[in-house]
Structure 1
Amino acid sequence: MTHVLSFLHDPLLHWFRSQPNPPTAILSDFFLGWTQRLAAQLSIPRVVFSPSGALALSTIHFLWRTMSKNPNPDDDSFPITFHGIPGSPTFPWYQTSSFYRSFKEGDPVSDSIRDGFLGNMASWGFVFNTFDDLEGPYLRHVREDLGHERVWAVGPLSASSTRAEEEAPTELMRWLDTCEEGSVVYVCFGSQAMMTCEQAEALGTGLERSGARFVWCVSATSAVPDEGFERRVEGRVSE
């Protein structure tokens, strides 16, 4: 998806240039690093918005700039140390960015994703969904790394909602209210991960055999277990 969105570059460039009063700046998500090239072509500033924190983005930029490798592909626990980031944190290979771990040299999609993340570093400024008391040292590190002070912490932010949404109990909330505290397993892999049929079947089997109640968030494009799964776990599952 990140790569596919980059195909909007030319249409957006044409749209900008056709406007009598075009926008004077671009605010875009850190997954849309390709918009940095668009901003440069239009001679306007771009501000990167990161819904995650400064430490997370610092580790991503570190990986793409150093191209750190796991010498043993069979060892997902191989430690990667992020030198230069405050505290020199170390994380196992499997906890690093999935975009980075799946990178293939010479592959157009991989190269596009890498160029996008590196392009973020050339932006005019950064806005993070975090706050100074939580990530002060890492925010200062980003400012030092970029060489300017145009780095802002505006969090913690929450998803917008209407008063009706806040007041009206949802079917899920009503179901959760019938469950004992701490008795429900929450399963979610985010919007970027898409399970294969084999992975969905394995996870479904594990949940079914556990006997636990659970909430499983599944995207429209992700695989799901067989049709009989919902019937077999009826009464202890909410979608």
Structure 2
Amino acid sequence: MEERTKLVLIWVVMIFIPLFTLRLFQDEMLYLNISMKVLHFEFLPRSSLVFILTSPLMAFDSVDLRVFLPRAATAFATLTDTILIYEIAKRYHGKKAGFLSSLMFLFSFVALRYGARYTLEPWGTLFILSAIYYFEEKPLTASLSMGLAFCARETWLTTYPFFLVYAWRKRRKEFLKILMISAFPIVLNFLFIASISVYQSPIGYNARDTLNGEPATLC
């Protein structure tokens, strides 16, 4: 049996099946509520990429579907994290190291605690791992993924300076492009958060009012 197949089977047992039995906890309920608001074009002053991506899953009348579908989406993000860790470690250290690295991730506290619930950690990790995976062959794709990590989870901004230092050392000729592409979603996300904080989300309310057939307002 191939290592990737083994990892998928372990993921099914450790992450996917438990998502139907775990109780809701406070942060998860908060994120589900935010995702529901985004479905109605109401945004809060924070990174909203994950909530935007999952908001269509909140369109169902069934409460069970509105809980388990976002959980399933996050579980598949965790699976993608696992496969990316395997591929990255295998590239530099071989199949055995790749399998053990992914196995350690699946049995880590972060994966067991957040991998089967609707949380932001697996999504942010997905963009960071994608940046690492694509950097050697597609540095610009990696740069965009690094910028999107902040749009998915604010705490990943702390890794951005280290990415720039690494990019400067490895891709000095392309550094300006890498800087611009990676910074673009970060700047947009800051402007998005600032517009909601200062102007009470005029974009969100205008869109919602327009869809409801009401005059758009600026506050």
Measured against the shorter chain, the TM-score band is under 0.3
Question: Relative contact order (C-alpha < 8 Å, sep 6+): which is higher?
Answer: 2
Q: Larger strand proportion, structure 1 or 2?
A: 1
Q: Larger helix proportion, structure 1 or 2?
A: 2
Greater Cα radius of gyration, structure 1 or 2: 1
Output the TM-score relative to the length of structure 1.
Answer: 0.25
